[in-house]
Amino acid sequence: MVTGPKKTHLQSPHNHLSPWQRLSRSLSLSLSHSFTHSLSLLSQVSHLISFSFFYFFSFD
């Protein structure tokens, strides 16, 4: 049978998703990654700000 290998090749997990689905999935992945990165950055900045406030007010 010659059609056997071709069918299994078409049903591979990589070809299961359409290009649009693959693009949207990668986009959402990068979005969530950047969101968590900005969130951690924001927490670091807030920690720095609170520390500087405490530092300045303790000298008064």
pTM of the model: 0.44
Other CB atoms within 10 Å distance of the CB of residue 22: 13
Query: Is 14's pLDDT higher than 70?
Result: no
Mark 25-51 as b/e (b = at least 16 C-beta within 10 Å).
eeeeeeeeeeeeeeeeeeeeeeeeeee
Q: What is the pLDDT of residues 28-54, one digit of tens each?
A: 999 999 999 999 999 999 999 999 888
